[in-house]
Amino acid sequence: MAEDSRASLLARCRAIVGASHVITDQADMAPFMADWRGRYSGRGLAVVLPLDTAQVAAIVTACAAARVPIVPQGGRTGLVMGSVPDLSGDAIVLSLRRLNRIRAIDPANRTMTVEAGCILADIQAAAAYAGMLYPLSLAAEGSCTIGGNLSTNAGGTAVLRYGNTRELCLGLEVVNAQGEVWDGLRGLRKDNTGYALRDLFIGAEGTLGVITAAVLKLYPAPRAALTALVALDSPRHALELLGLLQARCGAALTGFELMSAFCLDLVAAQFPDLPRPFAARHPQYALVELSSNESDQHAHGLLESSVGQALEAGVARDAVVATSQQQALGLWRLREHIPLAQAAAGKNIKHDISLPVSTIPDFIARADAALDQAFPGCQPVTFGHLGDGNLHYNVAPPIGVEHDAFLAHQASVNRIVHDLVDAFGGSISAEHGIGVLKREELARYKSPVELGMMRAIKGALDPLSIMNPGKIL
Amino acid sequence: MAEDSRASLLARCRAIVGASHVITDQADMAPFMADWRGRYSGRGLAVVLPLDTAQVAAIVTACAAARVPIVPQGGRTGLVMGSVPDLSGDAIVLSLRRLNRIRAIDPANRTMTVEAGCILADIQAAAAYAGMLYPLSLAAEGSCTIGGNLSTNAGGTAVLRYGNTRELCLGLEVVNAQGEVWDGLRGLRKDNTGYALRDLFIGAEGTLGVITAAVLKLYPAPRAALTALVALDSPRHALELLGLLQARCGAALTGFELMSAFCLDLVAAQFPDLPRPFAARHPQYALVELSSNESDQHAHGLLESSVGQALEAGVARDAVVATSQQQALGLWRLREHIPLAQAAAGKNIKHDISLPVSTIPDFIARADAALDQAFPGCQPVTFGHLGDGNLHYNVAPPIGVEHDAFLAHQASVNRIVHDLVDAFGGSISAEHGIGVLKREELARYKSPVELGMMRAIKGALDPLSIMNPGKIL
């Protein structure tokens, strides 16, 4: 790009958002360029921070006229490097963080209209203040933005009951690649008037347009939520427990997380102050959450009788039902500390995979065996959202092997795991998306027919290819 | 189209599916050409009935090569004339009815893989036989096919709890407009690997490709389902009752239908043998369904205490809780007989609209008043799925006015109702789709930006414009 047209675009951006909201100093731009896990740092022409949808539209229009790529950015907490620019230095990073207004709450419609830059935790809090629940919940909720959640169709721990971010959104406002504003902010439960544009922009990782606002679904806040930790013989027993709880509890089952013994060993070693609910070590654990709109007593009765049945039937080995909010938090803390314990213990090779729930016991057995054959003694760190078929199947080095030496085998480990995922009809990215990190894996595992249709859509909606280029496709 | 190329295409079709599955005789084709409500009959080059996905792909490939349009057809129960051809006689009607196998049921994954031509009632029955629930339920379930349900994103009476057809589908197999087979038959609850092609084909009414199979979500079958009829003062009281029940019952509330006094008057006049649950006439009625995975006793306790609270709080005037399966069926029959009673009483002007649930009382008041001003004495037949904001807001003529004379005002009545729907942020087609019938209304109410993006997608996926031309766009 010629120096003078670059200067003219930046002048236009300053005119649109104000000079103080166009950052071009390298040091000031640095925090917007870096992958937060420190794997990578890109380069950009500028960081632009618009205040509202009209400004976003004007910026996109200016960039389209100048053929300058745009990298939309939210809380920059993604795991696949989808919201940072490449090394060319050609792109504008469009930070949505100033679009952070909650525009409306409609309790009788059970909806909330929010701007893309709203922090997820603030949305949860606003819903709670109105006596409602916005169920999306994930580790980064204190800093991720809803625009990013929507653009990556974020998952989290409540998918079993409430679905992914896509299912929690009724309408969108989007600035498309031509800089036009699409007002699709509909708060409707039923609307069959043409193609599912909403669902297309959700999960598109900013490659088709910029989400600027959304109508979110709210739910009545449950009156009670109870937690239990259940000790199990095997993943197959976990699957049986899941089936038993779903049949007995229906939608009251709001969480079902699997953790292997090795995961809790890691947590115990790194965080000795956390609770140790069982005296004995068990092969597998399920963290179960039950919610009730009726009463604490109802949830208690249902959880105790269900867990009791699982124990009697030999599905479960042992169980602890939390009798206080604090005990419940302690049990959840075990689950939440697995990633931290992994990080503290040293790097491992991560996978965010999903499978048909019914195949998970077989998958784990086959993957464990294949990895052990290729890398004897390597240590799978198997945990995840079993109820959704979503495993974080990570692989730590054999005892005595340096972490960095093991990480040199990342490509071979990925190949073993992802080939098996593919053979089982699974997904190589359950909830993190594709970004840059999994682009080559996507090209490997998606059929040419599907890739062809995705490219046709990208070409149709972003013919100049300025929206987050190099991501997904 | 030249006679010889037409003959050559038909010969190719016969070679693909067998001569007996290519119908060209006008009389034999007639049932495939007619709108079932008798409003219209189209013309076609032939009706082709493939047996499997490979045959569908070969037919589409042949039609694409010959530039011959294709009208995919399921059970032909749609309400917007989306599955019948135009009058040109140029199109092949592609009936999917022979693709009617249930390919697999996976209870532990809570999924079922079915072909497009499976009848909805057969799918419900197969799910029930496996001890599960496939929740989609609508009036045409005995003859509509799942391919049509998916292509129109059908709604029905269980949306409040389980969502529309889109939310009840995890994966698709599609023959695209190039005749390629896309195998997207994934049975995954989480999968963030690129654009939402599944959601794009769902609800596209066959204009982007032909759905040949799907992976459907199953649910544990509830142990109990109870029904109550609640008498109310006004739509606003119905909204209050809905809020009260949702807060107390959560996902156990599986149905909430609104019916005005005039609806039940119609039913009583036409079907005097149906039950009359209340001695007095009340302005509005809510038909409420509660389900429980726990027990009949649990559902009973919850329903009685909730309805009791509504009566005490003055939200409800009176209530009947069905104490037997037969009583429950009787109450549902009142709701199901409203369309039949309307038909027997003479034609009226129909609308399938949705609104933010919170605006429904205001909408009804404003629409009733506007219509009464324009057509004094006209009689709104107001009923529908209040829990989803979906009203079937139909308008019968004033007493003494001929039905046909009133129907001459259809365009003016539509304009009053749809302008108001638009002003309230609603949809002119909640669950029936667009087809041919609402194409002009769509062009009127959708923004140019949204129509532009829809056309761009249509052009990208069906560049020859052979897939169900003239529908939606």
DSSP per position, B240-267: HHHHHHHHHHGGGEEEEEEEEHHHHHHH
8 Å CB contact between A103 and A113: yes
Q: Where are the domains of chain A?
A: 3-95, 102-220, 224-339, 346-448
Residues 6+ apart with CB under 8 A from B149: B74, B120, B136, B138, B165
Domain B3-95 identical in fold to domain B346-448: no
Subunit contact A431:B190, Cβ cutoff 8 A: yes
Q: What value of ipTM does the predicted structure carry?
A: 0.97
Q: Which two structure tokens, joined as six digits, stand for A221?
A: 């806040």
DSSP code at position A168: G
Q: What is the pLDDT of residues B315-364, one digit of tens each?
A: 999 999 999 999 999 999 999 999 999 989 998 999 999 999 999 999 99
Confidence label for A36 from pLDDT (cuts 50, 70 and 90): confident
Give the closest-approach CA distance of A110 to chain B in angstroms.
8
CB contact under 8 A, A106 and B358: yes
Dist CA B74 CA B118 (whole Å): 9
Instruction: Quickly state the pLDDT bin for A396 (edges 50, 70, 90).
Output: very high
Pairwise CA distance, residues B296 & B299, whole Å: 5
Q: Residue B40 pLDDT more than 90?
A: no
CA dist., res. A80 & res. B196, Å (int): 18
CATH classification of B3-95 is 3.40.50.300, yes or no?
A: no
Tell me whether residues A220 and B163 touch, CB distance under 8 A: no
Distance CA B316, CA B304 (A): 13
Bridge partner residues of B447 (DSSP): none
Tokens read off for A311: 């124990």
Which residues neighbour A59 within 8 Å (Cβ) at sequence distance 6 or greater?
A13, A16, A17, A48, A50, A70, A92, A94, A179
Beta strands at B92-95 and B70-73: parallel, antiparallel or unpaired = parallel
Q: Which two tokens stand for residue A301?
A: 């009765």
What gap in Å lies between CA A361 and CA A414, rounded to an integer?
19
Any idea which architecture A102-220 has in CATH?
2-Layer Sandwich (3.30)
Mutation choice for B interface testing from A449, A453, A457 by most B CBs within 10 A: A453
Long-range contacts of B317-325 (CB under 8 A, 24+ apart): B317/B231, B317/B232, B317/B233, B317/B282, B318/B230, B318/B231, B318/B278, B318/B280, B318/B282, B319/B228, B319/B229, B319/B230, B319/B231, B320/B228, B320/B229, B320/B277, B320/B278, B321/B226, B321/B227, B321/B228, B322/B226, B322/B227, B322/B228, B322/B229
Query: Do the Cβ atoms of A357 and B457 come within 8 Å?
Result: no
A202 at interface of B, judged by CB pairs closer than 8 A: yes
Instruction: Write down the architecture of domain A346-448 according to CATH.
Output: 2-Layer Sandwich (3.30)
Task: Give the mean pLDDT of A9-30.
Answer: 97
- Pick from B208, B356, B438: which is nearest to A188 by CB? B356
pLDDT at A456 over 70: yes
Strands of the sheet containing B209-217, edge to edge, are B102-106, B111-115, B209-217, B169-176, B181-184
Express each pLDDT in A159-207 by its tens digit.
999 999 999 999 999 999 999 999 999 999 999 999 999 999 999 999 9
Could you tell me how many CB contacts below 8 A there are between chain A and chain B?
A: 284
Chain A, window 205-264: residues with a beta carbon less than 8 angstroms from a chain B beta carbon: 208, 219-220, 222, 239, 243, 246-252
Cβ of A449 and B181 within 8 Å?
Answer: yes
Closest CA to B444 of B465, B471, B470, B414: B414
Quote the pLDDT of residue A1. Answer: 67
Minimal C-alpha gap between A143 and chain B (Å)? 21
Residues whose CB is less than 8 angstroms from the CB of residue A229 and which lie 6 or more positions away in sequence, other chains included: A277, A278, A285, A286, A287, A288, A319, A320, A322, A331, A334
pTM (two decimals):
0.97
pLDDT of residue B1: 67
Helix (H) or strand (E) holding A246: helix A235-249
Q: By the 8 A CB rule, do B193 and A204 touch?
A: no
- What one-character-per-residue DSSP string does A291-304 give? EESS-HHHHHHHHH
Q: Does B180 touch chain A (CB under 8 A)?
A: yes
Interchain pair B187, A106: CB under 8 A: no
Contact with chain A for residue B187, Cβ under 8 A: yes
* Residues forming a β-bridge with A396: A379
Q: Does residue A314 surpass a pLDDT of 70? A: yes
Check CB contact of B181 with chain A, cutoff 8 Å: yes
Q: How many Cβ atoms sit within 10 Å of the Cβ of residue A173? A: 23
- Pair of tokens at residue B271: 């079907």
- Using DSSP's 3-state secondary structure scheme, residue A358 falls into helix
Contact between B71 and B91 under an 8 Å Cβ cutoff? The reply is: yes
Nearest 5°: phi and psi at A95?
Answer: -85, 130
Q: Which residue of A has its CA nearest to B173?
A: A450
Chain A residues near residue B161 by CB distance under 8 angstroms: 251
CB contact under 8 Å between A427 and B188, yes or no, is yes
Using the Cβ of B173 and the Cβ atoms of chain A, whether some distance falls under 8 Å is answered with no
- Count how many Cα atoms sit within 13 Å of the Cα of residue B215 in the half-sphere of its side chain: 19
Please state, for a pLDDT cut of 70, what percent of chain A lies above it.
100
Q: Percentage of chain B surpassing pLDDT 70?
A: 100
For chain A, report the end-to-end CA distance as a whole number of angstroms.
23
pLDDT in tens, B432-448: 999 999 999 999 999 99
Helix, coil or strand: residue B464 = coil
Q: How far apart (Å, rounded) are the C-alpha atoms in residues B183 and B336?
A: 38
Phi-psi region of A280 (alpha: psi -120 to 50; beta: other; left: phi over 0): beta
In a mutational test of the A interface, the residue from B453, B464, B465, B468 whose CB has the highest number of chain A CBs within 10 Å is B453
| A2, pLDDT greater than 90 | no
A330 has a pLDDT exceeding 80: yes
Q: Is A326 on the interface with B (CB under 8 A)?
A: no
Span A246-304, pLDDT tens digits:
999 999 999 999 999 999 999 999 999 999 999 999 999 999 999 999 999 999 999 99
For domain B224-339, the question of CATH label 3.30.70.2190 is answered with: yes
AA letter at B240: E
pLDDT mean over B121-133: 97
Strand ranges, E, within A137-292: 169-176, 181-184, 209-217, 219-220, 224-232, 253-260, 284-292
Q: Facing residues of B181 across strands?
A: B175
Contact, A212 vs A99, CB < 8 A?
A: yes
Mean pLDDT of A405-411: 96
Q: Do the Cβ atoms of A190 and B356 come within 8 Å?
A: no
Tallying the residues shown for chain B, one arrives at 473
Q: What is the mean pLDDT of residues B161-173?
A: 98
| pLDDT tier for residue A3 given thresholds of 50, 70 and 90 | confident
- Give one DSSP letter per residue of A103-161, joined into a string: EEEETTTTEEEEETT-BHHHHHHHHHHTTEE-----TTTTT-BHHHHHHTT---TTHHH
Beta bridge partners of A259: A285, A383
pLDDT at B300 > cutoff 90: yes
Q: Is the dihedral of CA A36, A42, A48, A50 positive or negative?
A: negative
- Region for A327 from its dihedrals, namely left if φ exceeds 0, alpha if ψ lies in -120 to 50, beta otherwise: alpha
Task: Report residue B466's pLDDT band, with 50, 70 and 90 as the boundaries.
Answer: very high
The candidate with the shortest Cα–Cα distance to A286, out of A295, A294, A277, is: A277
Answer yes or no: do B194 and A247 touch at CB < 8 A. Answer: no
Average confidence (pLDDT) over B215-233: 97
- Checking if the pLDDT of B397 tops 80, the result is yes
d(CA A240, CA A234): 10
* pLDDT of A73 strictly over 90: yes
Q: What is the mean pLDDT of chain A?
A: 96
A461 touches chain B (CB under 8 A): yes
Is B461 in contact with A459 (Cβ distance < 8 A)? no
Question: What's the CA gap between B323 and B342, in Å, rounded?
Answer: 29
**Given a cut of 80, is residue B298 above it in pLDDT?**
yes
pLDDT at position A363 over 90 = yes
**Residue numbers in A near B106 (CB within 8 A):** 356, 358
Q: What is the mean pLDDT of residues A58-78?
A: 97
Chain B partners within 8 Å of A435 (Cβ): none
